[in-house]
């Protein structure tokens, strides 16, 4: 239902913005996620993270979502592994320490409790693997956060940092997005660091230990 409504508003796998096309591959490359490592996108939605990665040479890509709306296309057209899972409570059918990165863009704010998501991501990541979380920055979006009726839990830099440390990640916290006219100018195409000045939070958690 949620993905269908998004598609009706023009947010679909056929309409991936330039920001994602440029910034997602840069983000993983900048954090040294090799192209032969497994990448799992939890809450993959319309594929706005995995499709740019596929186009840029990452091969071992897994879609995880509670909604199988796009699964047939992801599997048959793009060759992605697809897993239907309610990450708020269910275990991922992936082996321990088997993945290089977990992507979780605009999902955590839709979960009443984040514990199972964070624990399952850590379980499947190899030592030193990375979890990438993007979520609205409550400090910057408190006036608009509740316009999405499926939002349940806001975060700011301190809370997302503390959450990751609780589960033995070493976190790096950034801003994420393109504002102040830079989105219209596409300046991040030439200096990707300009994509780290927006109104969302980007948390990169490195798995510490085994």
Mind listing the pLDDT tens digit for each residue in 97-106?
999 999 999 9
Which tokens in the block code for residue 180? 């102040």
Amino acid 190: pLDDT: 86
Q: How far apart are CA 102 and CA 106, in angstroms?
A: 13
pLDDT of 132 reads 98
Tokens standing for residue 6: 């998004």
What is the SS3 assignment for 191? coil
Burial of 33 per CB tally in 10 Å (0-12, 13-18, 19+): buried
Give every residue of the chain whose pLDDT is below 50, as ranges.
Answer: none
Look at residue 210 in the predicted model and tell me its pLDDT.
85
The partner residues of 100 in beta bridges, in order of sequence, read: none
Read off the pTM.
Answer: 0.92
- Summarised one tens digit per residue, pLDDT across range 28-61 is 999 999 999 999 999 999 999 999 999 999 999 9
Q: Give SS3 for 42.
A: strand
The sign of the torsion formed by the CA atoms of 36, 37, 40, 41 equals negative
Note the pLDDT tens digit of each residue in 64-78: 999 998 999 999 999
What is residue 116's predicted lDDT score, i.e. its pLDDT? 98
pLDDT of residue 179: 73
- Pairwise CA distance, residues 50 & 101, whole Å: 12
Tokens found for residue 66: 């509670």
> Given the structure tokens 């997302």, which residue do they identify?
160
CB-CB neighbours of 4 under 10 Å = 9
pLDDT score at 2 = 54
Task: Give the model's pLDDT for residue 14.
Answer: 64
């Amino acid at each position: 239902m949620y993905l269908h409504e998004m598609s009706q508003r023009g947010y679909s796998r056929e309409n991936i913005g330039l920001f994602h096309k440029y910034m997602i591959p840069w983000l993983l490359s900048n954090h040294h996620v090799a192209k032969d490592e497994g990448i799992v996108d939890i809450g993959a939605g319309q594929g706005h993270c995995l499709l740019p990665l596929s186009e840029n040479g990452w091969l071992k890509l897994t879609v995880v979502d509670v909604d199988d709306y796009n699964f047939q296309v992801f599997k048959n057209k793009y060759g992605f592994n697809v897993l239907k899972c309610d990450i708020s409570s269910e275990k991922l059918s992936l082996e321990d320490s088997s993945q290089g990165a977990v992507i979780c863009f605009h999902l955590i704010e839709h979960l009443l409790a984040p514990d199972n998501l964070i624990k399952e991501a850590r379980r499947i990541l190899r030592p030193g693997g990375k979890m990438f979380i993007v979520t609205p920055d409550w400090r910057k979006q408190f006036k608009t956060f509740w316009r999405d009726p499926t939002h349940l839990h806001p975060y700011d830099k301190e809370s997302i940092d503390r959450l990751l440390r609780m589960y033995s990640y070493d976190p790096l916290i950034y801003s994420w997005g393109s504002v102040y006219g830079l989105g219209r100018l596409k300046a991040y195409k030439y200096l990707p660091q300009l994509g780290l000045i927006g109104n969302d939070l980007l948390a990169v958690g490195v798995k510490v230990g085994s």
